[in-house]
Structure 1
Amino acid sequence: MPISSTVRPQTPATVWLARGRHVSGAAEDVLRRSLQERKDSQDIDDFLELPEAEAGPSERVFEARWRVGDGVTVRARLSVTPGPDGEGQEWILVAEAEQPWSDDWPSPTGLMWPREPDAAWDRDGAELSLREINPLPQDDKETKRLLRNAVRGGWHIHVVVHEAMTTDEKGRLPIARWLPQGLRPRVVEHRALPQQSRGLNWALRDSGVQVARGGAVVLPGTPAPEGYDAEDFSIRAVFLDGSEPADLVDAVKRYAALPRPLPDGAENALKALREDWHLLNLQEELDRQRGLVAMYADALEAMTTSRDLYREAAERAHEALTAYQESDGAAPARQQPSGAPVGSPLQQLTRTFERFKGKSQRPVAPSRDEH
């Protein structure tokens, strides 16, 4: 059964996340050209590539900002790192809006990556397509392994569709075309042939879901989002005749609206977007400088207060030492002022004086010669 998601922080409603792999060429070159084209066409307001000293020796980071809806500002950060196997480059895209995200807004991947169908960025970590249909393997064990690994991490919405009969070109179009723009890059569609029904359900048995012949299911993912129930996201029949599969589209939308935990690796990416943002406009730069001034003022005030406290403690210690010296050791131990702070130099000095005076006032034992 899916692992509980309660141990992970939830994805904020203002945040949009995506992850994938660029399979050929240098992703940073592709991004530079694509972002410049978007800026020239005014699809985005501005973008910035962080220097290597800021991003790290093996990471390339791009920031972009644009406006959606009624002037809602979106900030996006896309980081690119070498693939773990030395092949291709992994990328993570985090975008955050000034208000809760709407899937009707343009997809951040569509505003940062090229839109051409032959672009090399639209693969996930398992080499599945983010924009086309993914046929399931013929081997049942391979299907089980693929689906188990594909849903780990919680980055994408995985949909499995079983074809009740051989479909034509209209039926081979991905369901993503019926989804809002902001949902399309998040959906990975798997297709099973008519003869794969039994093997498919065997492969899905551990996930707690099944697929009816000619039907579909939205997989729970690992971890599953809160509120997921297999019955609510299973579709009895999907007609692959080119018409909109309304029930399946509705199920995907409802799944996307569920509260979901942050995917693996997203927490650090979101933190970097919020705390290490460089692409500031004039007002943001002014606010940032004001914040720095206030921070420095607070630090200076704390240093001044600390200096005054140490000076006061030193003066009291000096007064205590002077008073002791004037008493020439004959007066009883001076009581510590009630206002002295615990652990202050005066307290430590007074305790030392008391121990010393106690020793000096002990009676001296008579020597043997006096008997």
Structure 2
Amino acid sequence: MSNSATDHATIPQTVWAARGRHPGPGAEDVVRRTLERRRESGSIDDFAEPPAPDASPERVFEARWRAGGTVTVRARLTLVPRADRPEGQEWTLVAEAERPWDETWPSPATLFWPEDGPADGADGDWDHHPTVAGPRSGRVNPLPDDDRETRRRLKEAARESWCAHVVVHEAMTPGEQGRLPLARLLPPGLRHRVMEHRAAPQQFRAVNWALKDLGVEVPRGGAVLLPPDPAPGGYDAREHSVRTVFLDGSEPAELVAALRHFLAVPRPMPRGMREALADLRENWTLTTLQEELERQRELVTMYAGALEAMTRSRDLYREAAEQAHQALAALREAPSPAALPQQQRSGARTPAALQQLTRTFERLRFPAKGPRPAPSPDAPSPGAPAGGAGGPGIPDEPDIPEVPGAESADGTDSTGAAQRR
């Protein structure tokens, strides 16, 4: 048995849910005729048959009534053809009331399906277990004689079940009253939510061997409720065991108390129930004028909120766009690099490597000139003519050391001057 719930949503106490199988043909006709009779008798206020989705084999029926004369109940039944057989349909039924479900209210199943009786004939053959062959709700279901078959049936019945499965052991062979199903002694709201499995007196050991995997056992002459799969946290199987069940036609008070406690425990929704409940709430079509008006008001409120949110977003985008335009305009009005002074631009753009090269050449030029020698006593005054090697009136040219690559005053280097000489 799995202890982890795949769906953590619990079953609301306002919900009554069941599922089953109709083995014969024409299940939708049976439901339609039954709902028409219930509407004529006043058991329900109205019913509808919404159109199914395109290319869908499903058939959907909706009904509403007032439980106890004041509490509105909405219910939705869905018929789905069985894939493995040409005839027969599986059905799911979900009903939701305006307040927690009262066990004294009528069973929703008896409002969509005909009640058990000789007059119903084949129309009353609708309460089979949806997946396990043999068991039916509201009936006594004897366990098979084969031990392995008993084990398989109980395990499959408990897996993802929408109803409560109770195993009753007969301490001795009961009389005529004891052979009747216990479901007829249950309150109307509990009927069709319970499936009874009956073990004969000689099957006591075999049935407890079959229940071993589920972690429970049935007392001799008593009853036990199979734990749900998946089981809720903190589930105690001992609270759902009854020591003695008298099969004499009297009301099984202890069993009824255990069933109430079992159905009141917050349990995870089994597979398929969450989708069925969502269809009931979201795709409901059988509305009154007041409900339709209230629905339209809710839509108006929702659309008004959406429009207000869009307006706020538009204002925010507009403000952001204005700020972006202001920033762009300020950037365009800022002075560009072309408007700066020429000297500043050239100085700013002079590479550091070029400046270093210029300083290097300057250091090479100044040492080339050297200090002038002091005049000798024999030398004439600067203004007097004197002869020399350079000719009359022309002073001798001082010896200037030649520096390779150094530039002379007239723009030529010393190497070029020597070559011209």
Which interval holds the TM-score relative to the shorter structure? 0.7 to 0.9
Larger CA deviation: 115-124 vs 3-12: 3-12
Report the alpha carbon displacement of residue 37 of structure 1 after superposing the two structures with TM.
Answer: 1.6
* Contact 1:226/1:258, CA 8 A, preserved across alignment: no
C-alpha change, 1:367 and 1:299, in structure 2 (3 Å) is same
Report the alpha carbon displacement of residue 164 of structure 1 after superposing the two structures with TM.
Answer: 2.5
SS of alignment partner, residue 151 of structure 2: helix
Partner of 2:35: 35
Unpaired runs of 5+ in structure 2?
340-347, 359-421
Report the alpha carbon displacement of residue 170 of structure 1 after superposing the two structures with TM.
Answer: 1.6
Report the alpha carbon displacement of residue 366 of structure 1 after superposing the two structures with TM.
Answer: 9.2
Partner of 2:277: 270
Partner of 1:124: 129
C-alpha change, 1:83 and 1:300, in structure 2 (3 Å) is same
Cα deviation digits, residues 64-118 of structure 1 (max 9, x gap)? 1111125011111212222242352221111111111111111111112221444
SS of alignment partner, residue 64 of structure 2: strand
How far apart in 1 are the matches of 2:252 and 2:92? Answer: 30
1:307 maps to a residue whose letter is R
Partner of 1:10: 10
SS of alignment partner, residue 39 of structure 1: helix
C-alpha change, 1:237 and 1:323, in structure 2 (3 Å) is closer
How far apart in 2 are the matches of 1:209 and 1:116? Answer: 32
* Contact 1:14/1:100, CA 8 A, preserved across alignment: yes
Larger CA deviation: 292-301 vs 313-322: 313-322
Partner of 1:210: 217
Q: Which has the higher contact order (CA 8 A, sep 6+)?
A: 1
C-alpha change, 1:12 and 1:309, in structure 2 (3 Å) is same
Report the alpha carbon displacement of residue 51 of structure 1 after superposing the two structures with TM.
Answer: 0.8
How far apart in 2 are the matches of 1:317 and 1:252? Answer: 70
Instruction: Write out the 4+ residue segments of structure 1 that deviate beyond 4 Å after TM superposition.
Output: 4-7, 225-228, 364-368
Query: Structure 2 length normalisation: TM-score?
Result: 0.73
Q: Verify: 1:261 aligned to 2:268, yes or no.
A: yes
Partner of 1:346: none
Q: Verify: 1:182 aligned to 2:181, yes or no.
A: no
Aligned 1:227-266 pairs, distance under 5 A: 228-266=235-273
Q: Verify: 1:115 aligned to 2:120, yes or no.
A: no
Partner of 2:100: 100
269, 292, 299: which one aligns with 2:306: 299
SS of alignment partner, residue 232 of structure 1: helix
* Contact 1:2/1:221, CA 8 A, preserved across alignment: no
Q: Verify: 1:221 aligned to 2:220, yes or no.
A: no
C-alpha change, 1:298 and 1:363, in structure 2 (3 Å) is farther
SS of alignment partner, residue 67 of structure 1: strand
* Contact 1:134/1:189, CA 8 A, preserved across alignment: yes
C-alpha change, 1:171 and 1:294, in structure 2 (3 Å) is same
How far apart in 1 are the matches of 2:253 and 2:21? Answer: 30
Q: Verify: 1:163 aligned to 2:170, yes or no.
A: yes
Unpaired runs of 5+ in structure 1?
333-361
Larger Rg: 2
Partner of 1:192: 199
Report the alpha carbon displacement of residue 229 of structure 1 after superposing the two structures with TM.
Answer: 3.4
How far apart in 1 are the matches of 2:199 and 2:19? Answer: 24
* Contact 2:58/2:78, CA 8 A, preserved across alignment: yes
Larger CA deviation: 176-185 vs 271-280: 271-280
Report the alpha carbon displacement of residue 364 of structure 1 after superposing the two structures with TM.
Answer: 7.2
C-alpha change, 1:205 and 1:367, in structure 2 (3 Å) is closer
The number of equivalent residue pairs is: 341
Report the alpha carbon displacement of residue 143 of structure 1 after superposing the two structures with TM.
Answer: 0.1
Root-mean-square deviation over aligned CA pairs? 2.8
* Contact 1:178/1:244, CA 8 A, preserved across alignment: yes
2:13 maps to a residue whose letter is A
2:277 maps to a residue whose letter is L
How far apart in 1 are the matches of 2:149 and 2:57? Answer: 33
1:287 maps to a residue whose letter is E
